Structure 1
């Protein structure tokens, strides 16, 4: 078994080389970038960083792990979900500061909304549904601390679709400590 430390687009994770499968069973797998083993291995690495209270380089690991989440917050399997949530919880404990106060501003077309994240509401999910699908969503944050912002698109199809009728690409344009600029194209 070979395990590789990989760096991709500012993300850091560990990958287990796949062994040729001997079975012919095929199971549905979610449209997901990594396999459960990669999430589990990377979770153990993040837990190790948290145990040593080593903040160096851990943000790139946390960013990769959160990018692997499925739309409702879980991961590929029950086991990697448990490990990933435990590792992310330990990261949150390590990153927590008593004086955090973050203002997140969302602008989507003519719609705008602001969130305030502080010690009183840090454990409360704050969300807003957009009144329509905009061509551009801009999220900015100011203040002190770390927050996870997740943008999700859901749609309903009345019947099973033979050919893909929905395609979305996401390109990171610019990333700074306070902002993230992403270009999203939908067809």
Structure 2
């Protein structure tokens, strides 16, 4: 409702926020905490928002200057991590005004998120893709500028080059090159003042996996409907591989 710009003074919204505010005493669930941070940001409750974001900052996973969040320290679900991190990004960017420090913090989340994208621009599931693209789109509106240009140079292992010009005429266009050298080291260099997102996708085939079933059971009931006999036959075939 808040995303639809409903007023916080609306009775339903107001009562909902009061209920949610009472739940902020227990922040053991990271997913819920991220959702609450985004909710209270949209509601304009900066005090509660600050409390939640400070807690999230303390439990953030930092790696090579990147930021992301998981439900637990042993969590292996990339989809859930993408969704949680996207809600934190939405919470970080939905307040105004945004400082350079705010955008710098957000960029660390963005850099982690884009590393999780597949070759089609999506993520692990429909749900995390929807939230992540919403967050990335919001980030792009905050940092977009018509001014500036950059040149992205991709150096191939064989010594060839691919040049991508990013300027005010094509900033929103998708550019792609097919790289023929499957082995070796590629280097990417960017010069200029415009932001650019670079992604490398590797496509390959694998042999069809063999059937690893170790036990096969087949049950086949047989009934003779032409006879008055109530006797039925059940054939059970068990095969161990």
Identify the structure with the greater strand proportion. Answer: 1
1:150 CA displacement: 0.6
Is the aligned partner of 1:65 residue 2:137? Answer: no
For residues 34-183 of structure 1, the aligned pairs below 5 Å read 34-52=77-95, 53=98, 54-108=102-156, 109-157=158-206, 159-161=207-209
**Number of residues of Structure 1 aligned to a counterpart in Structure 2:** 149
What is the root-mean-square deviation in Å for CA atoms of aligned residues? 2.1
Contiguous gaps of at least 5 residues in structure 2 = 1-27, 31-58, 211-241
Unpaired runs of 5+ in structure 1? 21-32, 163-187
Q: Computing the radius of gyration over CA atoms, which structure comes out larger, 1 or 2? A: 2
Q: Distance in 2 between matches of 1:115 and 1:61?
A: 25
Runs of 4+ in 1 over 6 A off after TM superposition: none
Contact persistence 1:50–1:91 (CA under 8 A):
yes
Matched, 1:13 2:40: no
1:110 partner SS: coil
The TM-score, its normalising length taken from structure 2, stands at 0.57
The whole-number CA distance in structure 1 between the counterparts of 2:104 and 2:155 is 32
TM-superposed CA distance for 1:161, in Å, is 4.7
Question: What is the rounded CA distance, in whole Å, between the counterparts of 1:142 and 1:80 in structure 2?
Answer: 33
In terms of fraction of residues, the more helix-rich structure is: 2
> What's the offset of the Cα at 1:56?
3.2
Please state how far the C-alpha of 1:134 moved relative to its aligned partner: 3.7
SS of corresponding position for 2:170: coil
8 Å contact from structure 2 (residues 83, 128) kept in 1: yes
State the distance in 2 between where 1:81 and 1:133 align.
29
* TM-score, structure 1 normalization: 0.72
